[in-house]
Amino acid sequence: MKIGKVPESVLKRSVIRQLHTKRKEVVLGAGVGEDCAALTLAPDEMFVMSTDPITGTIHEIGKLAILITTNDLASAGADPIGVMLTILLPEHTEESLLKQLMQELEEAAAAVSVQIMGGHTEITRVVNQPLVTVCGVGKVKKNGLISTGGAKPGMDIIATKWIGLEGTAIIAHEKEEELCTHFSRHFVEQAQALDRYLSVMPEAATAVKSGVGAMHDVTEGGIFGALWEMAEASGVGLEIDLKKIPLRQETVEVCEFFHINPYELISSGCMLMAAADGNELIRRLKENGIEATVIGKATAGNDRVLMNEDEHRFLEPPKTDELYKVIQ
């Protein structure tokens, strides 16, 4: 396709016709010439918004785009309603790629009951690979908003599922052949399949009903970055037991192969939580089939301490994600 806005015929055929999921809150959605989407909420509800680009991979970017943004909304205790998309494609991109991308986006949106409400699609020399940016909108009761900054001294710190899920899956897709020179193909396929765990909407919904104090989606910077951000936002210290942070063996092996730190690897699929009674929250999560672990406590003061048996060291501010040491 040529530089500029996608032609109307392509927009109708390969974009709009791929969209099927509808939400009752959306009163104006995707259509030719529509500049905006419009939503309506009940008087006791408010909007929650989040935006993210997908830049770390070219594999399954439609699925990742929807999941990353809906995860952010869920971490605020919100019910995701819809998304607006900006899709930038390199010059000479085939229409078939756009159609495939839209089908992937719609499939991911349908899986979490989110409507693609509109957006912008353009062919441009500014990018050399497809770039998808998502702006998501959710709703939450006015007394139900959860923030990253809600942790209080004495609260338990909980991590759901395992860290490193997204990073492991991305690396396993991007570096499949290189990994297969050292590991069995079955192992690599298992690592790729970790992306089935990337949504945190189920644990967020359970946690909200259980009186969680704070939630934070563990993304770039890994669990160390997320811990720092929650502590900074909440104005608390931390005592974290490194050995209690949950890791999959696939993540351990892939990180060892590429000499990267799993604790600083992008970790969508893991939700960091703070709760007054972590064991009770874990019990309720496990009743819903969700693994979770108490990994430490929030403390008074500003010391953020990582404990590994007799060794104690201070947590540092977030660094560049370890993914970018592998994916150039």
CB burial of 252-274 (b: ≥16 within 10 Å; e: otherwise) equals ebbbebbebebbbbbbbbbbbbb
pLDDT at 240: 98
* CATH number reported for the structural domain that contains residue 24 in this entry: 3.30.1330.10
Residues 196 and 287 in one domain: yes
Residues 187 and 265 in one domain: yes
pLDDT at 8: 85
Residues 134 and 153 in one domain: no
Q: How many Cβ atoms from other residues are within 10 Å of residue 119's Cβ?
A: 19
Residues 27 and 135 in one domain: yes
Residues 261 and 129 in one domain: no
Q: How many Cβ atoms from other residues are within 10 Å of residue 209's Cβ?
A: 11
- For the stretch 221-231, pLDDT in tens is 999 999 999 99
Residues 112 and 206 in one domain: no
Residues 164 and 302 in one domain: yes
Q: Which residue has the higher pLDDT, 93 or 32?
A: 93
Number of helices (H) and strands (E) in the chain: give both, helices first.
Answer: 11, 14
The number of domains in the chain is 2
List phi, psi (to 5°) of 190. Answer: -65, -40
- For the stretch 185-206, pLDDT in tens is 999 999 999 999 999 999 999 9
* CATH number reported for the structural domain that contains residue 305 in this entry: 3.90.650.10
Residues 62 and 197 in one domain: no
Domain-ending residue, one of 88, 115, 141: 141
Q: How confident is the model at residue 5 (pLDDT cuts 50, 70, 90)?
A: confident
Residues 24 and 108 in one domain: yes
- Whether the CB-CB separation of 273 and 158 falls below 8 Å is answered with yes
Q: How confident is the model at residue 59 (pLDDT cuts 50, 70, 90)?
A: confident
Task: Calculate what percentage of the chain has a pLDDT beyond 90.
Answer: 88
- Whether the CB-CB separation of 245 and 308 falls below 8 Å is answered with no
pLDDT at residue 238 is higher than 80: yes
Q: How confident is the model at residue 139 (pLDDT cuts 50, 70, 90)?
A: very high
pLDDT at 37: 87
Nearest to 156 by CA among 76, 73, 249, 230: 230
Residues 223 and 309 in one domain: yes
Q: Which residues contact 172 (CB under 8 A, 6 or more apart)?
A: 179, 188, 189, 191, 192, 194, 250, 254
Residues 128 and 194 in one domain: no
Domain-ending residue, one of 141, 176, 202: 141
Domain-ending residue, one of 92, 125, 141: 141
| Encoded amino acid at 204, one letter | A
pLDDT at residue 328 is higher than 80: no
pTM of the full predicted structure? Answer: 0.91
CB burial of 31-42 (b: ≥16 within 10 Å; e: otherwise) equals eeeeeebebeee
Residues 127 and 189 in one domain: no
pLDDT at 270: 98
Domain that holds residue 43: 4-141
